[in-house]
Amino acid sequence: MKINISDAQIRGAHVQLEGLSKVYSGGTVGVDAIDLAVAPGEILALLGPSGCGKTTTLRMIAGLITPSAGEILIDGTSIVSLPVHRRNLGMLFQNYALFPHMSVLDNVAFGLSMRGVAKAEIAERSREALRLVQLEALADRLPKALSGGQQQRVALARAIVYRPRLLLLDEPLGALDKKLRESMQLELRQLCAQLGLTMVLVTHDQEEALTLADRIAVMRGGRIEQVGLGREVYEHPISAFVANFIGTSNLVDARIVSRDGDVTVLETDQGQSIHSTTRHGFALGDAVTVSIRPEHVTLAPSGASASGPNSLEGLVTQAVFKGQNLAIHLRVPGGADFVCTIPVAMTGSAVPAAGQIWRMTWPADRTIVVSRA
């Protein structure tokens, strides 16, 4: 994509949320005193299940919902008392929210005409924004004559034409099919980098959060459970909730029985011993959960000698072919269910099949200790 928005590089906004809360009139807490900072040019994803307060947070930043308490600062200045139309933000909606009675060009021009920009400049800048999303040829069409992907591009052009420094995205790609969603994710990422825009993205799709965002804030019950770089949150979740929301995890409830330097020894409720060498903040005797990613579990035929401290035998209940991977579901004596994925390319002659007993092993440095629930 060629970028030629003429002015000097637009610098993204620095966004700070301080103790931001929303309590609804019925007493329901939508957002519970969250603190969050988004650096200029950063893409932050608010990730969580529905009802976790992520959309409410985004709408408070946009000004569409009035916070009950707390501050929203953009470059250090509070915008809480500023009406929506004075905040100078761009926003993408899940259903695109294009003006159905205006042409594509008029949709894009809307923000400029609201700002009293001269007619000739409006036309020029709107066409430039459409060029940016590669839809210049469709300028005279009506939104409903466009595909979903094209409509969201128009919405994007409409949102960036007046050069906001912060772009808010409310599940923007949720209605698109997988292929298109993936290409739009990359495109958005590139655009953000090139325009230097700060973006705050709301999504319930962990894959979208990982692809699109620099940092992810996992929300739950109106609070931020964990915030960090995508990889960090994926590899070092702090709770069973985060571990299971970002990617899939095998979660085993256990108790810490001893700590020796880096090595933590845990005992599961079924009496099996598990070793972990990852960092955590728990103390001896704490009831915790052990999280093991399916891709870190290796399988060996039953009876093979255990190659490390972490080893369990289980009955294969299902083997599901998923294209690149094979997902093997196992049941361990005592009732715990495990899933492990093995790359199809690496399966040799012996492929686990339902009804067989296989031995699972996983490294201690991939055994994450997280809080229960």
Partner 1 sequence: MNVAATPTLPRIEPAMLAQLLRGKASGVALVLPATAFLAVFFVWPVLQMIVLSVTQQRVEGVLIEGWTLDNYLRLFCNDLYFRVLLRTLRLAAASSVVAVLLAYPLAIAIARGGPGLARLVTITLVAPLLVNVVVRSYGWSAILNNAGALAYVLKATGLSASPPALLYTEWAVLIACVHVYLPFVVMPIATAIGRIDPSVEEAARVAGASRMMTFLRVTFPLSLPGLAVGASLAFSLTAAAYVMPQILGGNFSPLLGTLIEQQVLTLSDWPFGAAISTLLIIVVLAVNLVFIGLLSRRFSRWTGGAK
Catalog residues that contact partner 1 under the rule CB under 8 A: 62-64, 83-91, 93-95, 97-101, 110-111, 114-115, 140-142, 144-145, 155, 158-159, 162, 168
Report the C-alpha gap between 236 and 39 in whole angstroms. 22
Q: Which is nearer to partner 1, 11 or 87 (CB)?
A: 87
Q: Which is nearer to partner 1, 89 or 336 (CB)?
A: 89
Would you say 62 or 227 has its CB closer to partner 1? 62
Report, in Å, the least distance between residue 228 CB and partner 1: 29
The least CB distance from residue 54 to partner 1, in Å, is 16
Interatomic CA distance for residues 213 and 38, integer angstroms: 11
Q: How far is the CB of 70 from partner 1 (least distance, A)?
A: 20
Contact 14, 74 (CB under 8 A): yes
Q: Are 299 and 351 in contact (CB under 8 A)?
A: no
Query: If DSSP codes are grouped into helix, strand and coil, which group holds residue 227?
Result: strand
164 or 247: CB nearest partner 1: 164
Rank residues 148 and 228 by Cβ distance to partner 1 and give the closer one: 148
CA distance to 83, 108, 173, 233, 234, per residue, from 212 (Å): 29, 24, 11, 14, 14
Residues 38, 39, 41, CA angle at the centre, nearest 5°? 110
Question: In the complex with partner 1, which residue's Cβ is closer, 110 or 362?
Answer: 110
Nearer to partner 1, 22 or 158 (CB): 158
Chain position carrying tokens 């052009």? 157
CA–CA dist 203, 156 (Å, integer): 17
Count the Cβ atoms, other than its own, within 10 Å of residue 13: 26
Least distance CB 99 / partner 1 (angstroms): 6
From the CB of 240, what's the least distance to partner 1, in Å?
35
- CA end-to-end distance (rounded Å), the chain: 44
Q: Are 10 and 195 in contact (CB under 8 A)?
A: yes
- Which structure tokens are listed for 128? 């430039």
> Considering beta carbons, is residue 88 or 272 the nearer one to partner 1?
88
Q: How far is the CB of 72 from partner 1 (least distance, A)?
A: 15
Q: How far apart are CA 58 and CA 48, in angstroms?
A: 13
Residue 129 Cβ, how far from partner 1 at the closest point, in Å? 12
Which residue do the tokens 């933000």 mark?
89
User: CB of 158: closest distance to partner 1 in angstroms?
Assistant: 6
d(CA 80, CA 63): 7
